[in-house]
Amino acid sequence: MKFLYSVMVILLVQACATKNLNIVDENLTPLEEFSNVTEVSQSPLSFKINRVTDKRAIKDRVGMGRTGLSNRVTPIVISTGVEYYVQLSLGLGLKQRGVYVDEQSLNNLNVDILELWVEEKKDGKIGEISECRLKFAFDLSLANSPGSKWQGEIAVQAASNGSILDATALNPRMISSCMNEALEKFVQDKDFQKMFRLKLKNNI
């Protein structure tokens, strides 16, 4: 999965002085417990990711971190932009699973980002956890069959194991973890499978 989420690493730059925790393009994978990949054995139709729109109320950040010895509250941002990150991650993740994503296809998938957030919390036992929440609305239509549409929402939530260490460095991987969980739900959606005549490798 190393190439799949080549979209994020955290810059820890003079933590007490920095204004933002900046997530940029580098190799970063989901946490091990959120790294499952459900592969498709048959994907006869293609579609392109036509549009990704950020419809969150707060668009200038994807969460809040706590940096330095004083645990200074610091915004977490994605330098490449949230819409670009989501579109790239969805495309790479679907292709890795064997779903036929093609930028020349006339079938369109439109995605609204309703929630994308990561933050650190006390776990009540050992120390800190990093927790992410993600929610997408999908609208998928076939060009040669205007009445054939798949619409739905996918919401996921994931949290790291508790640690006595600062959970700040886990925040980018938690976003990757939520993205991977969303991709798993997408591929496993029965209506999506039926519309695109997908067959999963593990299904008999």
pTM, two decimals, is: 0.81
CA 153 → CA 9, 23, 53, 114, 138, distances in Å? 28, 26, 14, 9, 6
202 — phi, psi (to 5°)?
-85, -5
Question: What pLDDT is attached to residue 68?
Answer: 54
- In a 10 Å sphere around its CB, with 0-12 CB exposed, 13-18 middle and 19+ buried, how is residue 90 labelled? buried
Q: Whole-number mean pLDDT of the chain?
A: 80
Question: If pLDDT is split at 50, 70 and 90, which confidence band does 184 have?
Answer: very high
Check: CB of residue 39 under 8 Å from CB of residue 201: yes
Question: What pLDDT is attached to residue 172?
Answer: 80
The two structure tokens encoding residue 65: 């971190």
What is the CB neighbour count within 10 angstroms for residue 69?
A: 8
The mean per-residue pLDDT over the stretch 33-61 comes to 93
Summarised one tens digit per residue, pLDDT across range 85-142 is 999 999 999 999 999 999 999 999 999 999 999 887 765 566 677 889 999 999 999 8
